[in-house]
Amino acid sequence: MKKIYSKITPNLLLGIITDLTDFDKPRNELIEPDNFLQGALIRVNAGDSFRPHRHLDKEVTFKTTKAQECWVVVKGTIKCSFYDLDDSLLEQVNIREGGLCINLHGGHTFECLEDFTFVAELKSGPYFGQAKDKIFIDI
């Protein structure tokens, strides 16, 4: 697992890159619990299960949230770019099939490197439209 931190705010985790098959424990937390987006990699065997459940509504104490997102490369390859809080390019990483990119803070984009690449995107909500969701970085 590779973690990408801000140079401006050194302890601020901007992104995480990992291979979905690169874990040996039954449950691997991917993201610290204080983020809006949560995620874990769970290794299970035939017959494993968990109790059926539903999640409770929670009261929250914060007034604003930020969209955080995750890209799972299902097929093909993408090049992910991470930008710091001042919009400067920090790092670029190629992610292949079975790879995962988690975007928590800072800017980000990806470029498709192969035809017929499939990427699953998961993000926190709610979504109120582009004008209230993002600022574009001029590169």
Each of the 139 residues of the chain gets a pLDDT tens digit; together they read: 899 999 999 999 999 998 887 777 888 888 888 788 888 888 888 999 988 898 888 887 777 678 889 999 999 999 999 999 999 999 999 999 999 999 999 999 999 999 999 999 998 877 778 887 888 998 7
**Cα 120–chain centre separation:** 11
Alpha helices in 10-131 (DSSP H): none
**Contact of 78 with 137, CB cutoff 8 Å:** no
Q: How many CB atoms lie within 10 A of CB 18?
A: 19
Among the listed residues 120, 119, 124, the one whose alpha carbon sits nearest the alpha carbon of residue 105: 124
How far apart CA 33 and CA 133 sit, in angstroms, is 22
Q: Residue 65 contacts by C-beta under 8 Å, 6 or more apart in sequence? A: 36, 124
Indicate the DSSP class of residue 27: E
Cis peptide, bond prior to residue 126, ω within 30 of zero? yes
Would you call 130 helix, strand, or coil by DSSP? helix
Start-to-end CA span in the chain (Å): 28
pLDDT score at 43 = 83
